[in-house]
């Protein structure tokens, strides 16, 4: 029996000058709408009275420039605010905060209505844009496109996350189980061979460490000469190299985590995992506790998709024999 699941695909996009301007203006309109709605809600709560709420449609009448942007993006800003307040009242999050244009990341979400979002080879069509946006499509998407989130880092690097509704068939049973624990050097250590390695990510991490060390030395030398870092060309060039290595290393880690989690779900029916609390502090190697929790989140939803079972076991994180102890749990 097939299962309908939502899958996300993230790609780098390369908009031209006009498209960049449209994205930046939309970020601003969405941010403005969110803040106006939040301000109205805060006033309503302060006066302890329920009013007929402010909506993007009402804001458009008062601020005509909002009519130029994607109306679905404004509607999603309202939904995001409503979700933020639900989380606050259910004590799952703090009180919603105003959005600021000083944030490194800006984004907006639009929906696919009547084929308004679609791919044409290595380009994508988006609502309100008359021209196609070039995209680095490194993998084929499956299923029906539901929405797209456009994001930008410092309004320079642009990305798109596509949410698709996809039908998945559960994987066949293998009549096998495996025990997996956290290992700071290779992320996972198992009692069965795992043929997927992370050598490329480790090599990039070593390059990144060396580049960061050189950057620190360069910064010290520049300050000694009483030159502003922003005006030091060699420093800025090296800083860009460090940023590129960091992004590349993050991509390699995500790819490795995806490959390992899928391999385990595909090859084993029952997976015993070491359970580590979110606030646990351990000496990290190439992979941190944060990477382990990312791996756990991915294997959780993949196991649910493909009809496999996860069993969590709490172990002493300092125990050198924890893999053997977890293997013992399998046979008990």
pLDDT tens string 167-178: 888 889 988 999
Q: What is the mean pLDDT of residues 235-243?
A: 93
Q: What is the pLDDT of residues 83-118, one digit of tens each?
A: 999 999 999 999 999 999 999 999 999 999 989 999
Within a domain: 216: no
pLDDT for position 54: 86
Domain boundary among 113, 145, 168: 168
Within a domain: 235: no
Q: Is the pLDDT of residue 332 over 90?
A: no
Name the residue with higher pLDDT: 210 or 44. Answer: 210
CA distance 16 to 132: 10
Q: What's the pTM? A: 0.79
Pairing type for strands 309-314 and 270-275 reads parallel
pLDDT for position 51: 60
Domain hosting 34: range is 3-168
pLDDT for position 240: 92
Spatial CA neighbour of 127 closest among 144, 143, 109: 109
pLDDT for position 96: 94
C-alpha distance from residue 71 to each of 56, 110, 174, 281, 306 (Å): 8, 8, 49, 45, 37
Q: Are residues 185 and 164 in the same domain?
A: no
Count of structural domains within the chain: 2
Q: Is the pLDDT of residue 261 over 90?
A: yes
Contacts of 230 (CB under 8 A, 6+ apart): 236
């Amino acid at each position: 029996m097939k299962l309908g699941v939502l899958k996300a695909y993230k790609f780098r996009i390369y908009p031209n000058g006009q498209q960049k301007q449209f994205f930046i203006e939309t970020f601003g309109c969405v941010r403005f709408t969110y803040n106006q709605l939040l301000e109205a809600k805060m006033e309503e709560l302060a006066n302890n009275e329920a009013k007929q709420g402010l909506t993007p449609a009402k804001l458009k009448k008062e601020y005509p420039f909002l009519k130029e942007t994607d109306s679905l993006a404004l509607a999603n800003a309202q939904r995001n605010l409503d979700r933020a307040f639900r989380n606050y009242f259910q004590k799952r999050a703090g009180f919603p905060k105003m959005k600021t244009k000083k944030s490194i990341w800006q984004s907006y979400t639009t929906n696919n209505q009547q084929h308004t979002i679609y791919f044409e080879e290595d380009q994508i069509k988006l609502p309100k844009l008359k021209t196609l946006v070039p995209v680095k499509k490194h993998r084929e998407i499956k299923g029906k496109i539901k929405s797209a989130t456009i994001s930008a880092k410092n309004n320079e690097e642009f990305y798109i996350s596509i949410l698709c509704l996809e039908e998945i068939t559960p994987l066949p049973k293998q009549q096998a189980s495996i025990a997996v624990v956290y290992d700071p050097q290779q992320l996972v250590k198992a009692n069965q061979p795992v043929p997927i390695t992370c050598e490329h990510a480790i090599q990039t991490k070593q390059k990144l460490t060396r580049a960061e060390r050189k950057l620190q030395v360069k910064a010290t030398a520049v300050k000694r000469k009483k030159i502003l870092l922003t005006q030091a060309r060699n420093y800025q060039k090296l800083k860009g190299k460090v940023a590129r290595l960091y992004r590349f290393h993050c991509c390699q880690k995500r790819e490795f985590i995806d490959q390992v989690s899928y391999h385990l779900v595909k090859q084993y029916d029952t997976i015993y995992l070491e359970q580590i609390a979110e606030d646990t502090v351990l000496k990290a190697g190439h992979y941190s506790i944060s990477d382990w929790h990312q791996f756990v989140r991915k294997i959780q939803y993949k196991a649910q998709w493909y009809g496999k079972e996860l069993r969590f076991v709490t172990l002493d994180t300092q125990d050198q024999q924890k893999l053997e102890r977890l293997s013992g749990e399998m046979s008990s």
